[in-house]
């Protein structure tokens, strides 16, 4: 589901905050009987990494095993549950409520002062688009030293109910709050050079390069569009000048290092235009090839925060 670009509003106290998105595929699994499960240990470990940095952070998470099968089962892979199908909306919202509580409790166990921000007051579904209306409430929580937690869910309006992808939500928040960085943690090393053939990753990828972004296969069984849509949403953020990364969330320590400004394993997403001067090697091409030394961390400025 598309989203209108949110307007930045109010004072900029939230500048310096990082937006972390934990992928649904990273934090959920499916039990042998088919029921969805939150990987609470992993969520708590990632929370510990965030807490250890002490940096102001907003957390967004995906729905993974809780969201994807429901979209297939109820046939809304296009992201829209039409008006009149309110029972589907009700069923999915109950499913996601279970996910949300389990995630929140695991984050708190990991040492974060985390508080859930419901999407209901935050966004509206009108004219086929989801709009983030105001981020003032999120900013306020952050200023109280709280980690606001948001997740992908369903928005509603006169026409029915629409999936608000957590990738889109994270991107909208990063732009609206002028975040210091957007870090999307997922269950891959980064963006693979040749997905399915090898695990080698792009160290940098230009989301505006149609050849590069087009080489990522579309995932038609994923209502949020999978890796291809993730790169597109990251490109939207990178275009505003915000350092943007897709990182390996499975690798212990990778998130903490990324929050501090140096990503050991992941892909920096760029979007056309001039490159900043803080990249590890100024003469490196926008799309980095496998020659990039894997041990070299991707960096962004760390003065804020």
Ligand X SMILES: Nc1ncnc2c1ncn2[C@@H]1O[C@H](COP(=O)(O)OP(=O)(O)O)[C@@H](O)[C@H]1O
What residue is closest to ligand X based on CB? 23
Phi-psi region of 152 (alpha: psi -120 to 50; beta: other; left: phi over 0): beta
Identify the residue among 30, 93, 134, 187 touching ligand X (CB under 6 A).
187
Are 150 and 20 in contact, with CB atoms under 8 Å apart? no
Minimum CB separation from ligand X for residue 233, in Å? 10
265 part of the interface to ligand X, by CB under 6 A: no
Give the binding range for ligand X (CB under 6 A) out of 75-83, 94-102, 187-195, 285-293.
187-195
Nearer to ligand X, 26 or 271 (CB): 26
Nearer to Mg ion, 3 or 224 (CB): 224
Mode of pairing for the β-strands spanning 3-4 and 129-132: parallel
Nearer to ligand X, 26 or 92 (CB): 26
* Strands, E assignment, 35-119: 36-38, 57-61, 80-82, 114-116
Binding site for Mg ion (CB under 5 A): 224
Are 66 and 98 in contact, with CB atoms under 8 Å apart? yes
Minimum CB separation from Mg ion for residue 65, in Å? 12
Question: Which option in ligand X, Mg ion, none does residue 187 bind, with CB closer than 5 to 8 A by kind?
Answer: ligand X
Minimum CB separation from Mg ion for residue 136, in Å? 28
279 part of the interface to ligand X, by CB under 6 A: no
Minimum CB separation from Mg ion for residue 27, in Å? 11
Minimum CB separation from ligand X for residue 235, in Å? 14
Contacts of 86 (CB under 8 A, 6+ apart): 161
Q: How far is CA 236 from the centre of its chain?
A: 13
Give the binding range for ligand X (CB under 6 A) out of 7-15, 80-88, 131-139, 180-188.
180-188
Using CA of residue 165, residue 171, residue 174, residue 175, what is the dihedral sign? negative
Q: Which DSSP helix (H) or strand (E) runs through 204? A: strand 204-206
CA angle 54, 251, 52 (to 5 degrees): 15
Backbone angles phi, psi at 81, to 5 degrees: -105, 110
250 part of the interface to ligand X, by CB under 6 A: no
Nearer to ligand X, 7 or 194 (CB): 194
Nearer to ligand X, 195 or 232 (CB): 195
Identify the residue among 61, 192, 203, 270 touching ligand X (CB under 6 A).
192
What is the per-residue binding string for ligand X in 13-32, x denoting contact by CB under 6 A?
Answer: ----------xxxx------
Tell me the C-alpha distance between 146 and 136, whole Å: 14
Minimum CB separation from Mg ion for residue 252, in Å? 22
3-state DSSP call for residue 48?
Answer: helix
- Residue 116 burial (CB count, 10 A): 15
- Residue 303 burial (CB count, 10 A): 7
- Annotate 23-32 with b (16+ C-beta within 10 A) or e (fewer): bbbbbbeeee
- Say how many Å lie between the first and final Cα of the chain, rounded: 32
Nearer to ligand X, 56 or 62 (CB): 62
Minimum CB separation from ligand X for residue 107, in Å? 17
243 part of the interface to ligand X, by CB under 6 A: no
Q: Which residues bind ligand X (CB under 6 A)?
A: 23-26, 62, 64, 186-188, 191-192, 195, 216-217, 222, 224, 226-227, 230
């Amino acid at each position: 589901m598309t989203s209108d670009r949110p307007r930045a509003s109010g004072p900029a106290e939230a500048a310096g905050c990082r937006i972390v998105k934990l992928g649904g595929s990273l934090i959920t699994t499916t039990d042998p009987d088919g029921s969805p499960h939150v990987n609470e240990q992993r969520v708590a470990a990632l929370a510990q990494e965030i807490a250890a940095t002490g940096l102001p952070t907003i957390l967004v998470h995906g729905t993974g095993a809780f969201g994807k099968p429901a979209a297939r089962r109820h046939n809304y892979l296009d992201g829209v549950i039409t008006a009149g199908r309110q029972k589907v909306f009700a069923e999915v919202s109950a499913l996601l409520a279970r996910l949300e509580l389990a995630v929140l409790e695991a984050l708190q166990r990991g040492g974060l002062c985390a508080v859930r921000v419901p999407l209901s007051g935050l966004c509206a579904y009108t004219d086929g688009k989801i709009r983030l209306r105001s981020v003032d409430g999120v900013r306020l929580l952050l200023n109280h030293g709280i980690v606001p937690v948001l997740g992908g869910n369903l928005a509603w309006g006169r026409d029915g109910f629409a999936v608000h992808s957590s990738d889109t939500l994270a991107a909208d928040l990063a732009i609206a709050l002028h975040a210091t960085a957007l870090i999307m943690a997922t269950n891959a090393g980064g963006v693979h050079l040749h997905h399915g053939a090898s695990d080698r990753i792009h160290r940098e990828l230009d989301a505006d390069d149609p050849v590069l972004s087009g080489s990522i296969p579309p995932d038609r069984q994923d209502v949020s569009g999978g890796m291809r849509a993730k790169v597109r949403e990251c490109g939207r953020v990178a275009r505003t000048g915000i350092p943007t990364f897709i990182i390996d969330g499975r690798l212990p320590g990778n998130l903490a290092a990324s929050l501090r400004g140096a990503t050991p394993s992941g892909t920096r997403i760029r979007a056309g235009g001039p490159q900043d001067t803080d990249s590890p090697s100024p003469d490196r091409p926008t799309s980095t090839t496998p020659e990039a030394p894997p041990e070299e961390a991707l960096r962004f400025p760390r003065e804020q925060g």
